[in-house]
Chains A and B, each alone.
Chain A
């Protein structure tokens, strides 16, 4: 199966700063990678699909990039509501797999 490794495990930043989260796949997933945000006690929210496409209603400060095995989620200027856990997920190869998550915490 395709293993997704997210880094860092925890990222400590302040509001207004830029956040860069990484997801690396154990084999190529082409551009078939998405990102989710999950806040405590809430369900995951789809942010990005197919590497760089924002899902409906997602603010423009969220952007995704990458292809093949290396992907990045960037939050251009952190808002207080952005502090959460972020997961990547690939749909290129069966089974569908998720990364282990990056916790974005307030510094």
Chain B
């Protein structure tokens, strides 16, 4: 059974760098077709996709945040790490990591398993 869990700071100061770790089980990021994404949701607002990393280490980023984001994977630890630089109060949100839908050997860029999310507040 697939599970994911985000960890990281709950409070960061403006201009600081946020580092979030997604620890997962039930799948391997070395398997063809597998990918993990990050999505965030400001309080009371809509979902916003941030980044996606594939089994072959291909990476995709939201263009509006690309200069501030980096996503990496550690296959041996079953972890994905997202860093976001120069944090601002508008980045206050719940940050989710999620497993990309995979049916057979085919992957689809939707998210079928989500972590519980971690609320990150940006404030001085």
Which A residues form the contact surface with B (CB < 8 A)? 1, 34, 36, 43-44, 46, 49-50, 55-56, 87, 89, 91, 94-101
Contact = CB atoms under 8 A, between A and B. Distances in A.
Contacts of B87: none
B39 to A, nearest CB: 8
Contact of B110 (A34, A43, A94): A34
A50 B107 CA distance: 12
Closest A-B pairs by Cβ, 4 of them: A91-B109, A43-B114, A96-B49, A98-B47
B104 interface: no
A98 B40 CA distance: 11
Chain B: interface secondary structure? strand
Given A46-B101, A95-B49, A99-B46, 5 more contacts: A55-B112, A95-B60, A95-B62, A98-B39, A101-B46
Interface size class of B (residues with CB under 8 A): 20 to 34
B97 to A, nearest CB: 11
Given A43-B116, A44-B114, A46-B111, A87 B60 contact: no
A55 B62 contact: no
A84 B46 CA distance: 13
A43 B96 contact: yes
Given A1-B63, A43-B117, A98 B49 contact: yes
